[in-house]
Amino acid sequence: MLPARPGLVVFDLDGTLVDSAPDIAQAVDIMLGRLGLPEAGEVRVRGWVGNGVEMLVKRALTGAVRPAGEPPRFREALAWFMDAYAEHMCDRSRLYPGVRDGLARIKAGGFPTACVTNKHSRFTQTLLEQLGLAPYLDFVGSGDQFAQHKPHPEPLLKTAAHFGIAPAQSLMVGDSANDAEAAHRAGFMLALVPYGYHGAVDLAALEPDVVVKSIAELPGLFEAL
């Protein structure tokens, strides 16, 4: 259970609000095709999302989840990916069930809201607008807008400071080990969703305050506090 009623609710994007992997996978495969390399496919790409676009492209080029250094043709590959994803960002990406309803009720309840993602700012705002989420979010912070990515706590600490809310009064809602580590290091409360892109990680091992099956469960939890 959450230890306190949050004064700020911060949402992760990919894997928490939006199932973006089908379009990300398509753009990865377009990029690999341009380089004359075999396609990766959606199942593998799902395991590569969550650490920003540069890491995604390195993973796609090497097939390794923790690639060392910069693989050959990285810059060229990154440019191909950025172009392909910009063109196909919203072909098949969908909100997870309960997201719109949950966000609308949280906003109506007067809670300040933010989205903090490792996604590049070239894509974040457009995706939020195309999926109709922009009106529910008071602040959006993308991976390239902070010096450090999640799991580093900086994006969360800067976001809490932006609102003037103490980290201990702030809630991170995410799907991955990156979100959990960032939340713990920042001193945020943590809610996790069981879907998304956390691979085989056991959610309990990430020590969330609460696991919610959908974002629509959150407003009821807040009311109870």
Ligand X SMILES: O=C(O)COP(=O)(O)O
**Helix (H/G/I), strand (E/B), else coil: 192:** strand
Question: Which amino acid, 164?
Answer: G
Q: From CA 140, how far away is CA 25, in angstroms rounded?
A: 24
| Listed residue (192, 138, 187, 191) closest to 166, CA to CA | 187
Q: Any contact of residue 51 with ligand X (CB under 6 A)?
A: yes
Q: In the chain, what is the straight-line distance between the N-terminal and C-terminal CA atoms, in Å?
A: 10
Task: Select 46 or 109, whichever has its Cβ closest to ligand X.
Answer: 46
Task: Select 50 or 112, whichever has its Cβ closest to Mg ion.
Answer: 50
With contact defined as beta carbons under 8 Å apart, do 140 and 18 qualify?
Answer: no
Task: Select 140 or 218, whichever has its Cβ closest to ligand X.
Answer: 140
- Block residue for tokens 């990916």: 81
Applying CB under 6 A, the site for ligand X has a residue count of 13
Q: List the one residue from 175, 191, 208, 216 that touches Mg ion (CB under 5 A).
A: 175
CB 167 → ligand X: shortest distance, Å? 18
CB 35 → ligand X: shortest distance, Å? 20
Q: Which of 12, 19, 23, 29 is catalytic?
A: 12
Q: From CA 196, how far away is CA 172, in angstroms rounded?
A: 15
β-pair partners for 113: 9
* 47 to 66: interface string for Mg ion, x by CB under 5 A: ---x----------------
Annotated binding residues, written as ranges, equal: 12, 14, 175
- Block residue for tokens 């400071």: 161
Q: Which of residues 13-32 bind ligand X (CB under 6 A)?
A: 13-15
With contact defined as beta carbons under 8 Å apart, do 209 and 2 qualify?
Answer: yes
Please count the other Cβ atoms lying within 10 Å of the Cβ belonging to residue 113: 21
Stretch that binds Mg ion, among 1-9, 131-139, 176-184, 214-222 (CB under 5 A): 176-184
Question: Which amino acid, 113?
Answer: T
Stretch that binds Mg ion, among 12-20, 74-82, 104-112, 147-155 (CB under 5 A): 12-20
CB 5 → ligand X: shortest distance, Å? 25
**Helix (H/G/I), strand (E/B), else coil: 97:** coil
Task: Select 111 or 197, whichever has its Cβ closest to Mg ion.
Answer: 197
| Whether 12 is catalytic | yes
Q: Any contact of residue 14 with Mg ion (CB under 5 A)?
A: yes
**Which are the catalytic amino acids?**
12
Using CB under 6 A, list all residues that contact ligand X.
Answer: 12-15, 49-53, 117-119, 150
